[in-house]
Structure 1
């Protein structure tokens, strides 16, 4: 592979101035690490392993799921009778190569997994099995817009959200389809009348929804960070850059030298001068005289979190401007340390590209619970890069995701502040007021038909553009704070 040594004289100079679901425990009791569970059909499916070259960190193991072996039915009339009739698939492996993130994928991106996915894993550090954890199955709301090249490659697959589990070497997964048999009358089955089937379910119950075809468990190893010497704030890392890595880094060459691990924070005056350098020709006379822009925040680059640039598609895709910001949560769980954030991002990136078939990680930016901002999709942090984060509204917008799950957990204040600072800077580059509203044209989704002009807040939650829980109730409730703080940072 063609490689280019990183040198300061490369030619690019900085222009900046600088669930446990308790019920799930009954589904699969804890087993010794060496025990094979009786509930799965015998035999082991072949493991499809994507072997990484020695120079490429990380790997993905794809394990096909198998139908669940029948269980002994409970006594007639037991409240769990009907659930037992649901189609179920699963997999238990006591020994697999190390992994840190899991998810379930299937062939048809248009198919929905109407059911539950529960996973437990064995820690390499302690050798013990975790409690059962729920995986978010509603992930179709993320992704490229319908009809775009990224969506129509033929490689895109349906998928659950990924779940961060930490360094693990054993896995147990249980997938169960939903059943809509409870009509709210409390009548239950009529097994007492002798009409029940021999598995304890009512013969008149409607069939459960089928699971998608070709379910596969993805076990993602983020790999280690490149063995490079940690540089100063605006200095390039030592070592070589591949051609792809050079291109990704050069997309930020208006801000920092190629190879920089981070884009440093700027003060107000330097940020305003940078705005004139980057977008002066697009600004009105009033905007040039009194620009409303927040100080540029510190952002860890793709180089800084160790992106393997050979994974993503070549080139970058841009839209005209950034009129709106969509806030997300990654739904990967909150069991990570901030020191692990680069590994978490590398895992999400690999899952989005190798498991789900996207051209790159979907989000334009990510932020951890300590408030550190990270560059997401390649193309340049100051540019209008087309993402795959809010299906139907990826054009003329950007997506920022807080790493974690915030349906019930409150986001850290540092994360909320980081979003506000990012919004104040990035929307300021494009003359947008974080307190205002704007119009975006829908590319199609489950809330707005294709072509409809939708009046949205400049700072919106994912659920404002698509019917979804994202970014979680607790994070969504902080968007008013983000709007107010971002406007204040802009001097409004």
Structure 2
């Protein structure tokens, strides 16, 4: 197995010690990663929060075992790639793991992610609560988004593109419930989406944790309005392959296959959807024909839908 480790906290925060007006300094642990290729056992120099996988081939049939644990099947999550599969698995602080690829799969790549114990980085967080039309949310600095992860070879990896909003898709992150540190989970998902999957950013526009806290997702500019540009168009994110442009993605943090969201998460989700649909003049109960503004592909759906309404997933 080819193995490489990185410590994204090894470079000091270049923003300096003095916080700009209207902000305050706050520290978050830098995300550490250790990457590997192939399916041979891998070890890490740190306790991993998550292990991310991606491969080319059949999207079903992959598995993972942590340290000396039993094999577990990886689900078909919301993060899909053309011609292959992906999975993000809670690692329970494991320092070793082994993966099993589907029959015939190739280009197997994994990454161990530590989003809780890396060296501290300083971020300039808004001093006052940030709100979008009355809905309080944590801005990207407030959950510790390392903006350097949006760049590759000195350039923005996925330049922002904006289109009129047509639909809203609700996901779950397929991460553990009763999450003790959901902001760390958001940082882990960000690392996996932006760097491992090479999307250049987190795939969702918003995330909601079990306590009902809303997190700003995909970067949309410096106008302090999450998800939209000053003209009211939606930044394209990466949550529903083939149907992303004009489609706003909200992810509930946790696994909701056999249980409903918490009351607090549900209340925040409803409030956020209500604000967005009113802001954009959408009927949340309407049946629509979504038209991809990039390639013209059409699909009948509802204004508010789930990922299963677009693609097969857990």
Same fold (TM over 0.5): yes
Q: What's 1:320 paired with?
A: 163
Q: What's 1:120 paired with?
A: 66
Residue 467 in structure 1 maps to residue 299 in structure 2: no
- State how far apart, in whole Å, the 2-side matches of 1:319 and 1:452 are: 17
Structure 1 residues 374 and 305: CA distance shift in structure 2, 3 A: same
Q: Secondary structure at the match of 1:374?
A: strand
Q: List aligned pairs for 1:169-208, cutoff 5 A.
A: 169-175=94-100, 177=102
* Superposition deviation, residue 453 in structure 1: 2.9
- State how far apart, in whole Å, the 1-side matches of 2:127 and 2:247 are: 26
Q: Secondary structure at the match of 1:173?
A: strand
Name the TM-score, length of structure 2 as normaliser: 0.79
* Superposition deviation, residue 326 in structure 1: 0.3
- State how far apart, in whole Å, the 2-side matches of 1:158 and 1:308 are: 28
Q: What's 1:10 paired with?
A: none
* Superposition deviation, residue 397 in structure 1: 1.5
Q: What's 1:72 paired with?
A: none
Structure 1 residues 418 and 464: CA distance shift in structure 2, 3 A: same
Structure 1 residues 163 and 437: CA distance shift in structure 2, 3 A: same
Q: What's 2:113 paired with?
A: 220
1:100 to 49, 52, 59: 49
Residue 453 in structure 1 maps to residue 298 in structure 2: yes
* Superposition deviation, residue 405 in structure 1: 1.4
Return the structure number with greater strand share.
Answer: 2
2:177 to 334, 337, 351: 334
Q: List aligned pairs for 1:129-208, cutoff 5 A.
A: 133-136=72-75, 138-139=76-77, 142=79, 158-166=84-92, 168-175=93-100, 177=102
Q: What's 2:35 paired with?
A: 62
Q: Secondary structure at the match of 1:161?
A: strand
| Residues 365 and 374, structure 1, Cα contact 8 Å, conserved in 2 | yes
- State how far apart, in whole Å, the 2-side matches of 1:386 and 1:143 are: 16
Name the TM-score, length of structure 1 as normaliser: 0.52
- State how far apart, in whole Å, the 2-side matches of 1:133 and 1:143 are: 19
* Superposition deviation, residue 329 in structure 1: 0.9
* Superposition deviation, residue 336 in structure 1: 1.9
Q: What's 1:360 paired with?
A: 201
* Superposition deviation, residue 408 in structure 1: 1.6
- State how far apart, in whole Å, the 2-side matches of 1:331 and 1:443 are: 29
| Residues 96 and 169, structure 1, Cα contact 8 Å, conserved in 2 | no
Task: Count residues with an aligned counterpart.
Answer: 281
* Superposition deviation, residue 429 in structure 1: 1.4
* Superposition deviation, residue 143 in structure 1: 5.4
| Residues 382 and 426, structure 1, Cα contact 8 Å, conserved in 2 | no
Structure 1 residues 316 and 46: CA distance shift in structure 2, 3 A: closer
- Render the CA deviation track for 1:32-68: whole Å, top value 9, x for unaligned: xxxxxxxxxxxxx4421234333262222012334xx
- Render the CA deviation track for 1:349-375: whole Å, top value 9, x for unaligned: 011111111121110111111111000
Q: Secondary structure at the match of 1:429?
A: helix
Q: What's 2:265 paired with?
A: 415
| Residues 173 and 251, structure 2, Cα contact 8 Å, conserved in 1 | yes
Q: What's 1:126 paired with?
A: none
| Residues 60 and 219, structure 1, Cα contact 8 Å, conserved in 2 | yes
* Superposition deviation, residue 395 in structure 1: 1.4
Structure 1 residues not aligned, in runs of 5+: 1-44, 67-89, 122-128, 147-156, 178-208, 229-235, 238-258, 266-270, 272-295, 445-449, 470-492
Structure 1 residues 261 and 429: CA distance shift in structure 2, 3 A: same
* Superposition deviation, residue 306 in structure 1: 0.4
Q: Secondary structure at the match of 1:102?
A: strand
1:263 to 118, 130, 134: 130
Say which one has the larger Rg.
1
- State how far apart, in whole Å, the 1-side matches of 2:110 and 2:129 are: 34
Residue 311 in structure 1 maps to residue 204 in structure 2: no
Q: What's 2:5 paired with?
A: 49
* Superposition deviation, residue 160 in structure 1: 2.1
Q: Secondary structure at the match of 1:419?
A: helix
| Residues 2 and 38, structure 2, Cα contact 8 Å, conserved in 1 | no
Q: Secondary structure at the match of 2:244?
A: coil
Structure 1 residues 349 and 261: CA distance shift in structure 2, 3 A: farther
Structure 1 residues 304 and 415: CA distance shift in structure 2, 3 A: same
Q: Secondary structure at the match of 1:162?
A: strand
